[in-house]
Structure 1
Amino acid sequence: MKLNVNYKILTLDVNNFGTTSRIHPVLIWDGDGATLVDAGYPGQFEPLRKAVEQEDVPFTHIRRVIITHQDWDHIGTLPDILRTLGSKVEIYAHSQEKPYLEGSIPYIKTTPERIAARLRSLPENMRAKAAAVFAGIPTARVHRTIADGEILPFHGGLQVIHTPGHTPGHVCLLLKSHRLLIAGDQLRVEQGFLVGPAEEYTPDMVTALASLKKLVGMDIDGVSCYHGGFFGPNASERIAELAAAGNSHSSNF
């Protein structure tokens, strides 16, 4: 029986130490349950749950959470999800992200030095609250690791594309049934334009730009960007332009 595969690019509002923005996890579902791609900031569990259930998908139908990479705005609600769903849900991530997510080694972008610099950049009245947030960035067990080129056997096939640079194990996912690339932070939408990864948050920009070339030639009509939302149609043409130019733009995301 052919399943009717649906997806929704969710929108969660963020007030991050006085700066407002939006992030966009992706929900995919069919008759065999649901998959959530990325999980928001710490403290966003209730908005995330409500966004899922507004699509008439019970939160308990989520069978797996795929994490595109380790950054705190993508992993923040994992403890809440695991407490709520228990053994019904599994966490997926690339093998190179697993030791970070599980706490074996410190997250790349939340080292004590980087946190201290971030706190110094904030107004004094925000520093204590921000320090508490950074101290509580979660870890979680990764139940299954995923690899470059793997076709995950649900929702009509979800292809894993390893796109390192932003982090070592960053992945994009191609939802084949909808020709939708779920890009994590490898691509962004700024003022209606599809652009590359944000340099200030990408430790290995050379590798990140090289990773763009892996997306060229794929059957991609639309792109879901965690920062900026949807870009399309005919997104493959713009991806080819970015890869050829080695393009990246700075942003406040």
Structure 2
Amino acid sequence: MHSCHPLPIEVTNYGEKQVITPVLLSNGHERILVDCGYPGFIPQLRQALLKEGFELESITHIIATHHDMDHIGSLAALKRMLPGATLIAHEIEAPYLDGSRKSQRLEQAESTLHLLPQEAITGAKQFMELLASIEPASVDQKVRHGDILPWCGGIEIIHTPGHMAGHISLYLRDSQTLIAGDAVVVEDGELDIANPQYALDLEEAVASVRRLMSYEIETLICYHGGRFQGDIRGALDKLVKRY
């Protein structure tokens, strides 16, 4: 038996409430957590898992879709708490996660700092300090596009760059479920590119959405927006045409 459990968690970020959606995949004795929230997020994760009937300590694997702070902020703390858990990420992401390369988001923030109005500089520098403070975590298993992880009837790795270079989405073949990460988000009931103004390569991000359209998707789960309700293929097509 295997199952998929979105874990919607409300968080206040820079004074605004938002909901992020890590996902717990259960397969026999294996528990696979997809993304893990902001720094200091373990109590919220624990509560969300308990609501679904799972203990945090039961996690055996963690998949990082990419190294943005809201997806991996608690990753190092989780790995300390769960020393037997395997961290899985795209091979491009590995050096950013383990700290051997500077965060792409931090590089982006540094390169655009001089373009900001004076009143925005202090907030931007605080954001950069927070990015620089994220603890590194070593990747145990590196994956690439087309790799199949052996749980839930086969979890296909889909390389969906654009938002970040090593971003991945996950396709659960048996249930035709797509865990999109930030490849797409739900905003006002529609699919969109995640923060298109901050995509490292917007053209590549749109091409990644086209890649997703080649899959038969019955259920779509976005990190921002949760489960999408509606015509998935039609919504993806509309998104692509909008850009």
Normalised by the length of structure 1, the TM-score is: 0.86
The CA deviation at 1:181 is 0.6
Q: Deviations over 1:193-248 (max 9, x none)?
A: 122332122010011111111112311012111111111354233223333x1x35
**2:227 aligned counterpart, secondary structure:** strand
Match of 1:149 in 2: 146
Aligned to 2:100: 104
Structure 2: gaps (5+ residues): none
Q: Greater shift after overlay, 141-150 or 113-122?
A: 113-122
Is the contact between residue 64 and residue 89 of structure 1 (CA under 8 Å) also seen in structure 2?
A: yes
Q: CA deviation at 1:21?
A: 1.2
Name the counterpart of 2:133: 136
Q: Which residue of structure 1 lines up, in the alignment, with residue 78 of structure 2?
A: 81
Residue pair 1:5, 1:177 contacting (<8 A) in 2 also: no
- The 3-state SS of whatever aligns with 1:65 is strand
- Alignment CA distance shift 1:216-1:64 (3 Å): same
Return the letter of the residue paired with 1:180.
T
- The two structures, once aligned, show a CA RMSD in angstroms of 2.4
**Number of aligned residues:** 241
Task: Determine whether 1:208 maps to 2:205.
Answer: yes
User: Per-residue deviation at 1:83?
Assistant: 1.3
Whether the 8 Å CA contact 2:160–2:169 is kept in 1: the answer is yes
Maintained 8 Å contact 2:176/2:216: yes
- For 2:212, the aligned partner's letter is L
Structure 1 runs of 4+ with >3 Å offset: 114-124, 126-135
State how 1:42-191 maps to structure 2 within 5 Å. Answer: 42-86=39-83, 88-111=84-107, 113=110, 133-191=130-188
Quick check: 1:119–1:127 contact (8 Å CA) kept in 2? no
Q: Is the 8 A contact 1:163 1:212 kept in 2?
A: yes
CA distance in 1, matches of 2:194, 2:125: 30
Which whole-Å deviations, capped at 9, do the CAs of 1:53-81 have from their partners, x for residues lacking one? Answer: 22111212211111111111110111121
Question: How far did residue 127 of structure 1 move?
Answer: 8.1
Identical-pair percentage: 35
TM-score (norm 2): 0.90
C-alpha deviations, 1:122-168, integer Å up to 9, x for none?
697x7897566334212110000111011111121111110111111
Q: Distance in 2 between matches of 1:62 and 1:115?
A: 38
